[in-house]
Amino acid sequence: MTVEFNITERNINSEAAAIDKRAMLGAKLNEGRFIFHSDLNNFYASVECALDPSLRGHPVAVCGSVESRHGIILAKNNLAKKYGVKTAEVIWQAKQKCPDLVLVPADYEKYSKYSRRARQIYYDYTDRVEPFGADEAWLDITGTKGIHDFESAKKLADEIRDRIFTELGLTVSIGVSYNKIFAKLASDYKKPDATTVFSPDKYGSIIADLPASDMIYVGKSTETALARFGVHTIGQIASLTESFMQSTFGKSGVFLLRNARGEDTSPVVRESEFEEIKSIGNSSTAPRDLENDDDVRMMCWMLAESVGTRLRRHGLKCRTVQLSIRESDLKCRDHQVRLKEPTDSTRVIAETAQSIFRSVYDWHTTVRSIGIRVTNLCGADTPVQISVFENERERTRKDLSIDKTVDNIRTRFGKSSLQRAVVMCDSKLTGAKVK
């Protein structure tokens, strides 16, 4: 049954005061806080244009490799955006809209370098920096010398924007507010190259009227669900009751309600304070559809190499191996197995993933992509039951020796310096993008 709120002019007027009153509570909870959200504009494309002046003045898009079936737009500059080029659309569609579109292959090492350089600038002003992807970050400048109101906070944001442009050649939009949710809302409000302040007095005049979908954590499904009840703006979310949001959306509904009222008090988390790693995984779309168990074996080994290496790098072992399968018609399925003993062995992870696949898949259609994720992590020094079988103890010892040797060689000479024979059986699949 669909329920519609009767949102009349009278209701809107009567709710306005209540919304402002609730917003005052959010401002009170965050009194004295000054939070920035910094968003590097059109990041990938902007980095490419900064490094290659010949690209400037042209519509530019960063894309994946067509040959590896990653032929989609990952980022575009403002000139490409004017032609209607969109992120995540396939290349041929983008070229139809903009025949002169210049395509540049993605280079994540370059983007990581620029991301780190931007963060170094942020650290000149505060040590409370929380990355949110490569191109975004929250900064807590509360207590920073000279910051005592939103006007002085805006001046500091403008200074950071100037430095990003001067030192990196990139533009950035910075939102300034009293909590993380509204700071991000502010940075999205005006782009590119802008500072936007959402102080408490802007709630009734701007924030409350913004679409619900503008607020972080409101995805398409949540937006659709809210619309069924006639709720389309942040202010309308704020006017709902906690009991309604709890019964309709569960805990996430209450979280959403408090965010809409400005009651988010979550701290800006320093990089060194991030929660411990909960899982490690990797997935890849194959250069061609996987057609048999041998194809899957190759992909599982390539992915397990990545996952196992990262486990050992972090000094961790896993107790559970998960396998995700995406079929050629894009249907997805996920399965997992709990191991008898925790492991960081590439072989164990690869063979477990293959075993899962064989037990659940009947080859009714080809497979487009495979993913491996390990969870239930523990320290590498976690005690394990020693096998009573000599051959099993010896195999475990050999696994550890081989993995450590391979890790050392690749660290010194590069990832491709040493490859297992199993991943060399098909030259096309060997070219799968596995980070």
Catalytic residues: 136
* Neighbouring C-beta atoms of residue 229, cutoff 10 Å: 16
| Residues 299, 281: Cα–Cα separation, whole Å | 13
| Residues 193, 334: Cα–Cα separation, whole Å | 42
